[in-house]
Structure 1
Amino acid sequence: MNYRHIFHAGNPADVMKHAVLALILGHLRAKPAPFCVIDTHAGIGRYNLTSEAARKTAESDEGIGRLFGRPLPHPSLAPYMDAVQALNPEGSLRWYPGSPRIARAALRPQDRMVLVELHPDDAHSLKAEFAGDRAVAVHQSDAYTALKAHLPPREKRGLVLIDPPFEQPDEFARMAEGLALAHRRWSTGIFALWYPIKERAAVWRFQDAVEKTGIPKVLIAELTWHPEDTHLRLNGSGLLIVNPPWKLDETLKEMLPALHDALPSTGGGTAVSWLSPEVS
């Protein structure tokens, strides 16, 4: 309950995560049928990068600050950067859109969004952010309890974003268990699970746990900006994506290296691979 994302908003992990999120949402928009977005760790919706808390760490300087107002490193970053620019129409970078704001920018009149946030203050801010927006429902709840309550959605299409703060030592295990439950309830939905890359062994255990569930069509995408020589810092950002849109893997194999080159790094790189291919 102590984690506050304002200290990390707009950092390289956010940039990677939200750029991929925007791509997935673009694929969902390509078909006329309605879709639903469920964000299980929604935060407050938008973050003031000029606030004292944000400037205390200045992590956005190494993330979105390297992209805003500059030529796109890759065309596939356009939907993400459009969402950032929409919150900063005057041309200076003040507001950073969290995943709820990025998703809201992609919704059409027939689509909707369910936002879940456990922290009481953040849930209150989130409700204020979307007050009067009939396309958005905000719930103060535990993320994994919410998966039981809101799946399957009445729409047959959509995305579940699971993006924990990783305060709990067993968060990787909770994610794997939560995904298994959620997939049983909605096997055709797209699931995107974000994870930090600090200690590679922990990531391997998580991926192994997901593989053992037997869930098919699982894509892994990673961006690292430091060599993986220590678990004392954040070395990179990963996404495990179930039922990814068609050819998303091919797009990420081009976009992520361009993004890596645009962000400051002491090494690292990118990786896109299938943990579990589609069952034939």
Structure 2
Amino acid sequence: MLSYRHSFHAGNHADVLKHITLMLIIESLQQKEKGFYYLDTHAGVGRYRLFSEEAEKTAEFKEGIGRLWAQKDMPEEVERYIQLIRKLNGSQTLRYYAGSPLIAATLLRQQDHALLTELHPTDFPLLRHNFSQFKNVTTKRDNGFQQLKATLPPKERRGLVLIDPPYELKEDYELVVEAIKEGYKRFATGIYAIWYPVVLRQQIKRMIKGLESTGIRKILQLELAVRPDSDQKGMTASGMIVINPPWQLESQMKKILPYLTALLAPETGSWTVNWITPE
């Protein structure tokens, strides 16, 4: 089932949380000179036109990156994220948005390298085209979950795995837990960042319980809700679960999330920074 297209949702509140978190983790890895490996298991196309038919149909970016675009006096970490998106646009007009692969590729140094995987038959050719000029980025049409078995541990013994499936099927939540088990068994010192949507809270609770049952320590949960949990259709919140997070990520997000909540959902929003399992 490959119907999900991220182009309908690019730049929304979930992307803002996901990409700020991704940027901060990469910045932490770059505090050491030695290179690292980045794996994006569900890469999409990497770059999105916000004036496309898909993006304009939902216009979700207007309630995400659109609200941040013209703001002043924001936390310095949020400002660095905005500068990344400005670099993609090349002007003061917000016309394009970067997916996770482009956020990462823009930040990579010469000694770092990335593997971007995508299975969607329409999205993969676009992904391959968008990253053809990046010498330290490889694209592959494959099941991203399988790459945790195939490519870990990386030769650098340092790395970040972003797991961002579409969650079209309820099995995806279970597949995430199984993928973490496989990856951690091979590469226990790696950083794993899992994005999740909150559509039905019970699904998230089951996934977290599954992660707790692995016995893995140092699992941090970051969540941004734009409205309270509901049994109605639609995503009310999204989050990032980070295994082996950089030491400063918790304090950074305790500063960033209140700001984002006040800006993106001032009346109905909430935020969470919580240790699922401490060290």
Provide the residue aligned with 1:36 in structure 2: 37
* Mapping of residues 134-173 of structure 1, within 5 Å: 134-173=135-174
CA RMSD of aligned residues (A): 1.1
What is the percentage of aligned positions where both structures have the same residue?
43
Shift in Å, 1:264: 3.4
Provide the residue aligned with 2:218 in structure 1: 217
Provide the residue aligned with 1:91 in structure 2: 92
- 4+ runs deviating over 6 angstroms: none
Shift in Å, 1:266: 4.7
* Mapping of residues 31-110 of structure 1, within 5 Å: 31-110=32-111
* Mapping of residues 188-227 of structure 1, within 5 Å: 188-227=189-228
Deviation track 1:84-114 (CA, whole Å, cap 9, x = no partner) reads 1111112100110000110011111111111
2:227, 2:265 within 8 Å by CA — same for their partners in 1? Answer: no
Bigger drift between 75-84 and 38-47 goes to 75-84
* Mapping of residues 194-273 of structure 1, within 5 Å: 194-264=195-265, 266-273=267-274
Superposition TM-score, scaled by structure 1 size: 0.96
2:218, 2:245 within 8 Å by CA — same for their partners in 1? Answer: yes
2:119 counterpart of 1:121: no
In 2: Cα distance, 1:185 partner to 1:231 partner: 40
In 1: Cα distance, 2:181 partner to 2:62 partner: 37
Shift in Å, 1:174: 0.8
Matched residue SS, 2:157: coil
In 2: Cα distance, 1:161 partner to 1:195 partner: 11
Superposition TM-score, scaled by structure 2 size: 0.97
Provide the residue aligned with 1:6 in structure 2: 7
Deviation track 1:118-151 (CA, whole Å, cap 9, x = no partner) reads 1122111111011132200001001111211111
Q: Which amino acid counterpart does residue 187 of structure 1 have in structure 2?
A: A
Q: Which amino acid counterpart does residue 210 of structure 1 have in structure 2?
A: L
2:262, 2:269 within 8 Å by CA — same for their partners in 1? Answer: no
Deviation track 1:202-223 (CA, whole Å, cap 9, x = no partner) reads 1111101000000111001111
Matched residue SS, 1:96: strand
Q: Which amino acid counterpart does residue 26 of structure 1 have in structure 2?
A: E
5+ residue gaps, structure 2, are none
Matched residue SS, 1:143: coil
Q: Which amino acid counterpart does residue 135 of structure 2 have in structure 1?
A: R
